[in-house]
Amino acid sequence: MPELADLTATEALRRMRAGSLAPAALIEAQLARIAAREPQVRAFAWHDPAQVRRAAARAEASRPLGGIAIGVKDVIDTADMPSQYGSPVWVGHRPRADAAAVAAARAAGAVVAGKTVTTEFATRHPGPTTNPVNPRHTPGGSSSGSAAGVAAGFFPLAFGTQTAGSVIRPAAYCGVVGFKPSFGLLHRAGMKVMSEGLDTIGVMARSVEDCALAMGALTGRAMSAPRPDRAPRLALITGPATEKAAPETLALMERVAETLRRAGASVTPVTLPPALLEAYEAHAFVMNMETAQALAWELSAARAQLSEVLRERMDWARAQPPERLDVARAAFAAARAAYPATIEGFDAVLTPSAPGEAPEGLGWTGDPAFNSLWTLLHVPCVTVPAGSGPRGLPLGVQIAGRIGEDAEALAWAAWVGAAIA
């Protein structure tokens, strides 16, 4: 039987509503886990146990997330905690209001466990967070603290954000489930937005069911789709960065595809059309050029407090002709128009979550090469744990769906997760 701190949100709610688990006992188990492991994991940018206890005492168990702790990535505002965006420029900053997503979580009864470490402005320079599976390795980024905190048992749910691969990749590296919904499904008011056309708020959890629970509570939409009554038709896509896949990832995709076929699924290799490949190549222009626009004040008023790598990328972005952004955005639009025909006849896409296991060291959070295409397409995508690699670190596989079909993407991810468990 799992320890209380390791319960899924769904199971914890079931026990609390049945009267077999006191909300205070759950929170105390999580606080004890934080006290024991946080000195090494370093998932939090801000955490106040007394504040958590007060919030838990006010939680109403009858609400959709009543008494469930949630980590909030520190690019998402909280009215009662600092929001510092992973940058010394904003140390001590206290917003007046919660971000829309945080307000929705609190209204659903969730208890904010604290602010989780992000890379600098959710872009480049990493924070101090380590991978709970092996502290010598990165947890991924930019949603570093959220992924690590879920994996370590600090909270069962967490907010992340994704511009390239910042929900899916760290979730995969830490062995948890990550869900990047359709673009705009969770409102970004109160988020420190970097890329106007890419940034998406998502969630991390210990199960696909928990992601559906959280998204349903946050949006008021039905996200717990019934278990499919048939096996899926999956398009197997390893591009557009197949050459970046580590041997363990190539072997993983072959193994998972064969396992799913034995379970009744059809898994068919699909080649990406030129429009999607061109959009993939344009991603860096949109991400960096829009980020340079977003950081106009910081670059002007606090340049010396930005990391060298961020300054370098922003200078590169500002040196591009403005028309280059127009061309890149047009490539995105063309890819979104071409995508439905690419996966016509399929229920979802099966693709890698990351190039391989989490890289060693904390100076780099890993390559988003297997995520940026799905982000720019604005489609929902889910990573589910899929065993471990040669160094004992987690691997994941990613399920991508169609814009607006978030419940369906979660349902097929649950099917895949159960088949490969």
- Token pair for 346: 């399929």
Terminal Cα distance for the chain, rounded: 18
Q: What residue has token string 């502290």?
A: 135
Selection from 208, 201, 180 nearest residue 101 by Cα: 201
CA 127 to chain CA centroid, nearest Å: 16
Distance (Å, whole) CA 240 – CA 217:
34
Indicate the length of the chain as a whole number: 421
What is the strand order of the sheet 69-73 is part of?
44-46, 111-116, 69-73, 157-162, 200-205, 177-180, 381-388, 394-400, 348-352, 233-236, 266-269
Contact 343, 373 (CB under 8 A): no
What are the backbone dihedrals phi and psi of residue 45, each rounded to the nearest 5 degrees, phi first?
A: -90, -25
Distance (Å, whole) CA 40 – CA 129:
8
Active site residues: 73, 142, 166
